[in-house]
Structure 1
Amino acid sequence: MKITSIETLRTEEFANVLWVRVHTDSGLIGLGETFYGAGAVEAHIHDTLAARLLGRNPLHIEAIHRDLVNLPMAQSSTGVEYRAASAIDIALWDLFGKVCDQPVHQMLGGLCRDKLRIYNTCAGYGYVRSTNIKPVSNWNFGAAEGPYEDLDAFMNRADVLAESLLDSGITAMKIWPFDPPAIENQGLFITAAQLKKAIEPFEKIRKAVGDKIDIMVEFHSLWNLPTAKKIAKALEPYQPMWYEDPIRMNSPQALAEYARSTDVWVCASETLGSRYPYKDLLERDATHVVMVDLCWSGGLTEGRKIAALAETWHRPFAPHDCIGPVGFAAAVHASFSQPNTLIQESVRAFYTGWYKELVTVVPTIKDGYVYPMEGPGLGIDLLPAVFDRTDLTTRRSAL
C-alpha cells in the first residue's frame, strides 16, 4: 500500500479548522485535523511535506513522523510545521486502524478503562470560531444560540452554571475569569479591585455547590511570575484542582518557582510541541499534570510518548480539547489507551453544537464520563454535507 494523494479541506465559517485526508492505492483514506492558522498549515503540507509523503507506505508511521518534524524550522514548537505534522500523523493512525479493522485506541495498546471522567471547559458557542485568537476578544458572545453559553455563564452566573453541570453529572469545570485584567494590564499587575472581581465566580461556585465540583483555572500564559504567584495565593482558599499555564511556557525555572509557591497543582501545557520541553519541565519539578494537544504537539505518535514521559515522572496525563471534532476524537482514543490519564477535557457547547454540523459521530458523553469510540480507526468521518459547502476550499497533492 502507498500514499497516492494528500488532500486538505477548510471552510470560511470554521476558519481555524483544517482537515487532512491521506488517500492510498487501496482505496482507504485516513482523516486528520489541526487547528489555527489553517491556510498556513495547508501551504506547508502541500509545498513542503507532500513530497515526503507521496508514494510511501502509510503504515510506516514512526519513520514518516520523524521525516515530517526533522526540519530546521520544526524545533519543538506548536507552530505551522508541528500542526501540519500532527494532522498528518492523526490521519495515518486513522488509516492504520482501518487497515486492521480496529479502533485507534486498540492500535495504541488497548483500553485501560471502560469510561473516563471528563471536565467541562466553559467556553461558549462562538469561542475560537473566528481567526482572532487573542484572549477576551475571541469570546464572541451571542455568536450562536443554545443552552450552553458557558463562558458568559461563568463570568456572570457561575453558581447557576455549576449547578447545571452537576445536574448533568459533570463534576469538574475549567474557567478563566482572570483574562480580562491580564489583557487590560498586559499581564504586569492586577489591582485589588480586579482581583476581587475575578475571584467572584469561585465564591459563587463554592457557595452554591460546596466542594461537589472541581475547578480548574486557565490563565492562558498571560501573567508575569510575581503576579501569577499573587493570584495563586489568593485562589488557594477555594481549592482549585489545578492552575493551567499561569506564565509563558518558555522558562522551566520560572514555572518551577511558581509550582513551589502554591499547594495547587500546576498543569502544563497545550502550548508545547514535542516531548522535549515536557522533559525540561519534569526535570525541574515544574508541573504536576501533563497536558498535551495532539493537533499541535506532533499527533498521536508524539502524544503517547509524552504520556509515557509523564508516567516516568509519576505524573498524570490530561489531553487538551478546545479545538475541532476530529482532534477531540483523537484525544479520546489517546486518553483511553494511556494508563496515567487523569481526566479528559471537553466542551459541551462544542460536542452538542457545531461539532455535529461537521462529523458523523461525536464521542458519547454521559453522566460526567466519556466512553470509548467504536469502529475502525478514529471511528469518525466528515459528513457528506461538508464536501458540498459553498465556503469549502480544497487542495490536493498527488503522485
Structure 2
Amino acid sequence: MAKVTALRTIRIAERPNLIWVELETEDGRTGLGESFRGAQAVEAVLHETVAPWLLGRDARHIEAVSRQLLTPYLGFHSASAEVRAASAVDLALWDLAGQRQGEPVYVALGGGMRESVRTYNTCAGYAYNTSGGVRRSIGSEASVGPYDDQVAFMRDAGALAESLLSEGYTAMKIWPFDDYATATGGHMISLADLKAGLEPFQKVRRAVGDRMEVMCELHSLWSSHAAARICRALEDVGVFWAEDPIAKMDDAQSLADLRRQTRTPICGSETLAGTVPFRNLLAADAVDMVMLDLAWCGGLTEGRKIAALAESYAKPLAPHDCTGPVTLMAGLHLALHAPTAIFQEVVRATLSTWYRDLVTDLPVIREGMALAPTEAGLGTRLQPAVKQRADATIRTSGKAR
C-alpha cells in the first residue's frame, strides 16, 4: 500500500537553483521534498538514476532507501548532485511517513525536545542566492524593500539590529568581509579591510549593546591565515560564531589549527554531506557548533545521525536555511527533535515574500521563536499555482495520478 508509483520534479525559471520532488504512493499520498543548486543536474539524477530504482519500492523503508541513494559509485561524502537528489527524496519520504502516522515529522522522528526553537535572521535580501548560484554583491546597491537586510547591514547595521529586535529577533547573521576576499583570492586581508569589515559589528554593539547576538558568515572564502586574522579581530565584538571560515570545510586539520588560534567560536558546515565529514571535524575538535543543510547533507535520515554525532560531542546544532521553504520546514522539525539544537535559521525577507508564493505553510514565528508545526508530515505543500506557471518545468517518472 505504500509503494512509490511516481516521482515528479518541478522547477521554475524564476528560481533556477530550486527543485522540488513529489513522490506519489499507491495509498494515494504525496510526499514533498526539495533541494537547491544545480537544479537541472539534480533533475537528471532523479529521473535517470533514482526513479528506475525507487519506483515500486516501499516508501516506509526510509533507512534502506537512504543507504542505497547515499552510497553511489561516485558522488558520496559531498553535497554532489547525487546527494542533493537523495536529500530531496528523503525529505519526501519523511513527509509521507508523517502523513501515514497522522503526526508532524518531528513526532514521527521520535518526538520533540522542545515546542519551539529560537531563530536568527540571516540578513540576506529578497533574491539572495537564487539566481543561478551567483551571490549578490554587498557593495552600494539600492535597497529594493524594507527587508533588504543585506544592503542594510552594510549601510547601518545598528539600525538593522534595532529593526530586528522590534520584531522579536535576538540574533542575526551578517557577512561584511565577503567583498574583501576577491582582491587576494582570500589568501590575506589588509588592516584597512579588516577594520571596514568589523565596523558593522561595532555598530550593532553601539546601537543595542548585548541585546543582540551576532554571527559572522565567512562563506568559505578565506585561507587559514586570513581566517585566523579575521576571527581574532572578531573576539572584541563578541560574535556568537564565525561560520565556514576556510575554503575547504572538510579539512579537519586546518580547521582545528584555526580554532586553536582564536577565542571566536567556529561553526560548520552547511556545505558538507554525510556523517563521515562531520565525524572527522568533531573528532579533530575543529568546530564549536554544527550546522547542516537537510537538502544537501542527505535529508532527515542522515541529518538526525549528524545531530546524534553533535550530541555525542556535546556540540550545539543549528539547521541551515537560505535556500528554500521546504528545507526550512524540514530543518525546523529537526531543530525541534534534536537534543542539542539551539537555533533554526530564517530569512525574514524571503519569509515575507516569495516563500509564501511557493508553499501553503511556513513556520509560525512569535517573539523570535519558531513554533512547532501541527499538520501531519512536513506540514506544507506546493501552492497549486506553481505547477501552472508558464516558466515551470515538470517531469514525471512512473505512473502519476
Pairwise same-fold verdict (TM > 0.5): yes
**Helix, strand or coil: the match of 2:119?**
strand
Matches of 2:359 and 2:294 in 1, distance apart? Answer: 18
Q: Which residue of 1 aligns with 2:262?
A: 262
Is 1:220 the counterpart of 2:205? The answer is no
Matches of 1:250 and 1:293 in 2, distance apart? Answer: 15
Matches of 1:131 and 1:141 in 2, distance apart? Answer: 19
Q: Which residue of 2 aligns with 1:349?
A: 349
Q: Which residue of 2 aligns with 1:40?
A: 41
Q: Which residue of 1 aligns with 2:109?
A: 108
Alignment of 1:1-399 (within 5 A): 1=1, 2-133=3-134, 135-137=135-137, 145-247=144-246, 248-398=248-398
Q: How many residues align?
A: 397
Amino acid in the other structure paired with 1:164: S
Matches of 1:304 and 1:139 in 2, distance apart? Answer: 38
Whether the 8 Å contact between 2:138 and 2:151 is mirrored in structure 1 is no
Displacement of 1:155: 1.0
Sequence identity percentage: 49
Displacement of 1:129: 2.1
Displacement of 1:139: 8.9
Amino acid in the other structure paired with 2:342: L
Matches of 1:224 and 1:283 in 2, distance apart? Answer: 22
Displacement of 1:74: 2.5
Matches of 1:126 and 1:317 in 2, distance apart? Answer: 26
Return structure 1 stretches of 4+ with deviation > 3 angstroms: 135-142
With structure 1 as the length reference, what TM-score do the two structures score? 0.97
Matches of 1:140 and 1:96 in 2, distance apart? Answer: 47
Matches of 2:146 and 2:167 in 1, distance apart? Answer: 13
With structure 2 as the length reference, what TM-score do the two structures score? 0.97
**Helix, strand or coil: the match of 2:20?**
strand
Whether the 8 Å contact between 2:387 and 2:394 is mirrored in structure 1 is no
Displacement of 1:241: 0.4
Whether the 8 Å contact between 1:7 and 1:20 is mirrored in structure 2 is yes
For structure 2, which runs of at least 5 residues remain unmatched after alignment? none
Displacement of 1:11: 0.2
Displacement of 1:137: 4.3
Matches of 1:163 and 1:304 in 2, distance apart? Answer: 35
Whether the 8 Å contact between 1:124 and 1:141 is mirrored in structure 2 is no
**Helix, strand or coil: the match of 1:360?**
coil
Post-superposition Cα deviations, 1:268-289, rounded to whole Å, max 9, x if no partner, equal 1000010100010011100010
Matches of 2:103 and 2:355 in 1, distance apart? Answer: 23
For structure 1, which runs of at least 5 residues remain unmatched after alignment? none
Amino acid in the other structure paired with 1:392: A
Displacement of 1:141: 5.2
Matches of 1:105 and 1:120 in 2, distance apart? Answer: 22
Amino acid in the other structure paired with 1:167: S
Whether the 8 Å contact between 1:116 and 1:336 is mirrored in structure 2 is yes
Displacement of 1:48: 0.6
Whether the 8 Å contact between 1:12 and 1:392 is mirrored in structure 2 is yes
Matches of 1:18 and 1:140 in 2, distance apart? Answer: 31
Matches of 2:327 and 2:212 in 1, distance apart? Answer: 26
Amino acid in the other structure paired with 2:146: P
Range 53-62 or range 193-202, more displaced = 193-202
Amino acid in the other structure paired with 1:368: G
Matches of 1:153 and 1:313 in 2, distance apart? Answer: 37
**Helix, strand or coil: the match of 1:146?**
coil
Matches of 1:72 and 1:30 in 2, distance apart? Answer: 27
Matches of 1:68 and 1:141 in 2, distance apart? Answer: 42
- CA RMSD of the aligned region, Å? 1.4
Matches of 1:203 and 1:146 in 2, distance apart? Answer: 24
Amino acid in the other structure paired with 2:119: I
